[in-house]
């Protein structure tokens, strides 16, 4: 009985100490699924590459927020007040966007999807970019 009570106390302590966001799973979808999501018109698309990369070609309607910028988090929070809307993030290959998705979830965004493979995968699939 003591063992069960100790386990219960540890469980409650862990629930109080570990933030809910630690259990959140970032969606990581491929180009085909991302294309479907974008076509619904419900998603805000965020390109986290540099301005130069963005200008070289980006997804139609994507908004640019440079992951390397010192103001990245502040810019995201000031631009997007509704943290419950669905967001898609992408970069060149998927690494910066995955890190960005984690940051967004830490900031309280509840519906963030990373595009696996980034714009390289998008272009390899023959999808259009805006230049």
* Per-state percent for the chain, helix, strand, coil, to nearest 5: 45, 15, 40
> Measured between alpha carbons, how far is 57 from 119 in angstroms, rounded to an integer?
9
- Is 91 annotated in the active site? yes
- Active site residue: 34, 45, 62, 91, which one? 91
CA distance 71 to 45: 19
CA distance 103 to 99: 6
| 16, two tokens | 């109080």
Mutual angle of helices 72-79 and 95-106, in 10-degree steps? 60
Please list the active-site residues. Answer: 91
């Amino acid at each position: 009985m003591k063992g069960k009570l100790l386990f219960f106390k540890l469980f409650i302590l862990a629930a109080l100490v570990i933030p809910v966001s630690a259990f959140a799973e970032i969606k990581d979808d491929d180009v085909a699924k991302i294309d479907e999501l974008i076509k619904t018109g419900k998603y805000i698309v965020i390109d986290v590459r540099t301005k130069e990369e963005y200008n070289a070609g980006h997804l139609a309607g994507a908004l640019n927020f440079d992951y390397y910028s010192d103001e990245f988090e502040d810019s995201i929070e000031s631009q997007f007040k509704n943290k419950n809307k669905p967001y898609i993030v992408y970069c060149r290959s998927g690494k910066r966007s995955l890190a960005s998705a984690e940051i967004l979830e830490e900031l309280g965004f509840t519906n963030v999807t990373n595009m696996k493979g980034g714009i390289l995968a998008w272009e390899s699939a023959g999808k259009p970019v805006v230049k």
